[in-house]
Amino acid sequence: MRLKEKIYIGLMIAKAKLLKQSIPVIVGWALTYQCNKQCKYCLLPIKKTVELNTAEVKLLIDNFKRLGTKMLIFTGGEPFLRKDIIEIINYAKQKRMIVYVNSNGSRIRDFIGQLGLVDCLNISLEGNKQTHNAIRGTGSFEQVMESAELAKQHKIKLRFTTTLNKLNLENIDYILDSGANLQAKVKFQILTDYCLGSVEKNPLLPENHKLIKVIKQLCEYKKKGKYKNIIANPLPALKYFRSLPKLPLMACASGKITFRVTPDGFLITCGESGIAANHFRIALKNKTYEQVKQILEKIKFSKQRCSCGCADRVEASMLWNLNPGAVLNRL
Ligand SMILES: C[S@@+](CC[C@H](N)C(=O)[O-])C[C@H]1O[C@@H](n2cnc3c(N)ncnc32)[C@H](O)[C@@H]1O
Ligand code: SF4
Ligand code: SF4
């Protein structure tokens, strides 16, 4: 991220704080729930949803631009299953947004020549070949590694996302070494208790003491040593996870400066509708900028606190709460 962009985001956060007004500065946008994988901890692909079409997506990007949005993180499902994904990315870039795209790596080969404008490609990596394929299906690891090599060749910034689970806790050094070799940082995520997109209990939940041991190891790596700059999570955010399974409650940035958008065009606080302190769901489809602005102005900042293990949200909330370590990590 360029200094100018960091300053803009900082100013927008300050504005939202001072005016106590929701500004969707950073938006995680699931463009589809369709997916070509069946990962063991995710049931999003079975969700049947009407999706916004290209024109509706573009209209929403226009509105976000006017509302002060600086960063769009396109996700899914698998966003590269949408035929218009490149058109959407390029449109957001025309509007001078920072664009990150999350992917399982299965279709990067088909699109790599058209991804030059993407600011960061986030590809999920579970561990070594055996572990990754056990979670994501045969051939998935090879797709990730090929995508990572292609990203390196095409000079596209790459980040791995690793969701810590009972099958990959022994793979941490492997993942960090892969990041170092492929010039990719690694963002570690905490698994939800249920499978994403459902209420089904997550079959890959790790034993807590084993998870904490790995988190402590990551904290040590982040403090010093060869992996310090490979781990993308800021140290305070990693330390926060040492309290699992009972995370301290916090004033969350979700619904204030970070938001999510669903494939059918609803603006929501975060993906955790069951536990979020201030959960709302606003239909954005076919709304004018003025209409959305009015709705956002009516959102009252909740004094309630909550907590979850979403690494991006913990990081954003630490920025929101002006945690010095999180702020320094962003500079
Ligand atoms: C929902 S996927 C969408 C993008 C793409 N399909 C992928 O796998 O990267 C985004 C991230 O969510 C993570 N994820 C899936 N199920 C999860 C769960 N139950 N808890 C936490 N993270 C989860 C995935 O590992 C992935 O890194
Ligand atoms: S984690 Fe990603 S790749 Fe796996 S099933 Fe969910 S959406 Fe698909
Ligand atoms: S702490 Fe988690 S559940 Fe609560 S609002 Fe933030 S992202 Fe949502």
Residue by residue, pLDDT tens for the chain (331 residues) are: 778 888 888 888 889 999 999 999 999 999 999 999 999 999 999 998 999 999 999 999 999 999 999 999 999 999 999 999 999 999 999 999 999 999 999 999 999 999 999 999 999 999 999 999 999 999 999 999 999 999 999 999 999 999 999 999 999 999 999 999 999 999 999 999 999 999 999 999 999 999 999 999 999 999 998 899 999 999 999 999 999 999 999 999 999 999 999 999 999 998 887 788 888 899 999 999 999 999 998 888 878 888 999 999 999 999 898 876 676 666 6
- Verify whether ligand 1 is closer than 6 Å to residue 75 (CB atom): yes
* Cβ-based neighbour number of residue 286 at 10 Å: 11
pLDDT value of position 4: 82
pLDDT of residue 325: 67
| Cβ atoms 185, 159 nearer than 8 A | yes
Task: Indicate whether residue 105 lines ligand 2 (CB < 6 A).
Answer: no
| Ligand 2 pocket, residue 255 CB under 6 Å | no
Ligand 3 surroundings by CB, under 6 angstroms: 252, 254, 269-270, 272, 275-277, 306-308, 310, 313
**Whose Cα sits closest to atom 6 in ligand 3?**
252
* Protein residue with its CA nearest to atom 16 in ligand 1: 42
Question: Under CATH, domain 54-232 is a member of which superfamily?
Answer: Aldolase class I (3.20.20.70)
26 lines ligand 2 (CB under 6 A): no
CB 261: neighbour CB atoms within 10 A? Answer: 24
Give the number of the atom of ligand 1 that is nearest the alpha carbon of residue 192. 20
| Cα 331 to Cα 135, 168, 284, distances in angstroms | 35, 31, 33
pLDDT for the residue 159: 98
Residue nearest to atom 4 of ligand 3 (CA): 276
Question: What is the best residue among 254, 299, 321 to mutate for testing ligand 3's pocket, by most ligand atoms within 8 Å of CB?
Answer: 254
CA-to-CA separations, 42 to 136, 161, 184, 228, 254, in angstroms, rounded: 10, 15, 24, 30, 22
Q: How far is CA 114 from CA 31, 86, 88, 90, 304, in A?
A: 18, 7, 12, 9, 44
Which tokens sit at 41?
A: 């901890």
Kindly give the distance from the C-alpha atom of residue 200 to the centroid of ligand 2, in angstroms, as a whole number. 15
Q: Are 293 and 170 in contact (CB under 8 A)?
A: no
Which atom of ligand 2 lies at the shortest distance from residue 38's CA?
A: 5
Specify the pLDDT at position 304: 82
pLDDT, residue 25, reads: 94
Return the residue whose CA atom lies nearest to atom 7 of ligand 2. Answer: 77
Calculate how far, in angstroms, residue 15's C-alpha sits from the geometric centre of ligand 3.
21
Please return the burial class of 29, using the count of CB atoms within 10 Å of its CB with bins 0-12, 13-18 and 19+. buried
Taking the C-alpha atoms of residue 225 and residue 260, their distance in angstroms, rounded to an integer, is: 35
- Percentage helix, strand, coil, to 5, in the chain? 45, 15, 40
Q: How far apart are CA 259 and CA 280, in angstroms?
A: 10
**Ligand 1 touching residue 131 (CB < 6 A):** no
**Intervals of CATH 3.20.20.70 along the chain:** 54-232
